[in-house]
Amino acid sequence: MIFDLSKTNSLANVFIAELRDEQLQKDAMRFRRNMERIGEFFAYEISKTLEYTTTETQTPLGIAPTVKLTQQPVLATILRAGLPLHQGLLTVFDQAQCAFIAAYRTAHKSGRFDIKLEYTASPDLTDQVVIMADPMLATGASMVLCCKELLRKYKIKELHIVSVIASTEGVRHVRANLPKAKLWLGAIDEEMTSKAYIVPGLGDAGDLAYGLKI
């Protein structure tokens, strides 16, 4: 399943346009806040697919038939660029537990790079609905490695992957390696540079949110 936000015009697409805008990118607070707002939109879209239990709520004037989430999802993200998107999801799924994974690229002289996993902090994900968020799905290598690490440790019930900008190659890589995952994407761009940056993309999401890495 692929849900592509860009197929329907909404304010979410305007926020993505702002994320891409090299002038607006000078305002890191706006960049982070737009990531959060897109996370909030995705949380709402995903919430439509989750299971609900009917219940009753006492109002000051009577009893209303209402619903509640049958099971809270667990929100996972990849440090560090994933943090604002994750925060947006957490604003909406405000009772969710969270999992964090640190991953980074190590470049070889040949231009090839490996992904290194350094840190995983997660609740027990057995039989849980997991929503994994990372703003950029370039080659898809970070996403596949991080999800496989969680799937190796836990029998996850349902895996949702949220990405704001994906490349066609990244989508192909995720679908080939995580065929059961549901993909929630803001936009799909065709090209990548030789250093695996998405084109037109938006640049380096982690640097734009938090500053240049040394």
Ligand X SMILES: O=c1cc[nH]c(=O)[nH]1
* Length in residues, the chain: 214
User: For ligand PRP, how many residues bind (rule: CB under 6 A)?
Assistant: 22
**Per-residue string for binding with ligand X, 80-109, x by CB under 6 A?**
-x----------------------------
Residue 135 in contact with Mg ion, rule: CB under 5 A: no
For residues 163 and 135, the answer to whether their CB atoms sit within 8 Å is yes
Only segment of 4-12, 25-33, 60-68, 128-136 that touches ligand PRP (CB under 6 A): 128-136
Given candidates 96, 138, 166, 187, which one binds ligand X under the rule CB under 6 A? 138
Residue 170 in contact with ligand PRP, rule: CB under 6 A: yes
Q: Which residues make up the interface to ligand PRP (CB under 6 A)?
A: 78, 80-81, 103-105, 115, 134-143, 170, 196, 204-206
Residues making contact with ligand X (CB under 6 A): 81, 136, 138, 196-198, 201, 204-206
